[in-house]
Amino acid sequence: MMSPEIQTPEAKTSEAQPPLLRISALTKKFGGFTALDNVSVDIRPGERFGLIGPNGSGKTTLINCISGAFRTEPGTVTFGGEDITRLPPHIRTRRGIARSFQIPRPFRSMTVAENLMVGLDFAGRADEVVSAGRERDTMMSILTRMGLASKADVSTAKLSQVELRKMELARALATHPKLLVSDEAMAGLSNSEVDEVLDLLMSLAAQNITIIMIEHIMQAVMRFSDRVMCLEAGKIIAIGKPEEVMANPRVQEAYLGT
């Protein structure tokens, strides 16, 4: 049975707001395989939301449906009160949905600054003319927030693993997101590097960016999340406060086995 959520006064106030993201009865099949099975969840404005589950549980499929990489069948995705279910990925990005990828794929022939400029140009409105100087100021502001200002003119081929993860987050920020999906940004990093990335995500959340964090490092999930949702075999098996979800026998079984 799913653990009930503890309602604090702050949580009640947040829940009174319309959700930023609403997933309704989302199902995704690949041939005869059901990757997502009738998943429904609301993500609140400004929420730090942890998404966990064993390998093959449907986490990546869910975020691909949110970002528009996959079409849903059936189910709806509503963002900021707008049904975006049929919108392509680039339009969803311009609506304010950004994601970082577990395996960074920068433009290797470009510098860090040039990689960010691509994102800034992509996110710009067709009816808005932005000077090159203003665009570079924005780019440098993002790099400074990510601790990469000194690497602006460095080739991405020369970045360390943690610097590449920071650059992935920087590229996502360049699109001015309202919702950021962070896909295992800490995988393979040392403890100190995990702390660095976690601090960055916390600072972004403090600036009213709603964040969905997909992560296998449970200590990071516990520190970061207001709520946690666990998927198994495409279904939600628990959702609630981090300590409640981690104590749920079904979650423990999903990770540790019987």
Question: What residues does each domain of the chain span?
Answer: 19-256
| CA pair distance 38, 231, nearest whole angstrom | 12
* pLDDT the model gives residue 163: 95
Which has the higher per-residue pLDDT, 15 or 208?
208
CATH fold group of domain 19-256 = Rossmann fold (3.40.50)
Measured CA to CA, the distance from residue 228 to residue 175 in angstroms comes to 26
Identify the bridge partners of residue 43 per DSSP, sorted by sequence position.
21
Q: Where are the alpha helices (DSSP H) in the chain?
A: 9-16, 59-67, 89-95, 112-123, 132-145, 161-173, 191-205, 218-224, 242-247, 249-256
pLDDT in tens, 8-40: 334 444 456 799 999 999 999 998 999 999 999
Reported confidence tier of residue 132, pLDDT bands at 50, 70, 90: low
* 49-75 residue pLDDT tens: 999 999 999 999 999 999 999 988 889
**pLDDT the model gives residue 109:** 86
Q: What is the mean pLDDT of the chain?
A: 88
End-to-end CA distance of the chain: 16
Q: Which residue has the higher pLDDT, 14 or 80?
A: 80
Q: Residue 21 and residue 44: Cα distance in Å, rounded?
A: 7
Tens of pLDDT along 99-131?
988 888 888 889 999 999 887 876 654 445 455
For residue 130, the model assigns a pLDDT of 54
| Residue range 214-241: mean pLDDT, rounded | 95
Q: What average pLDDT score do residues 202-227 get?
A: 94
Bond before 74 cis per omega within 30 degrees: yes
pLDDT at 185 over 50: yes
* pLDDT tens, residue by residue, 148-173: 999 999 999 999 999 999 999 998 99
Question: Cα 220–171–161 angle (5° rounding)?
Answer: 55
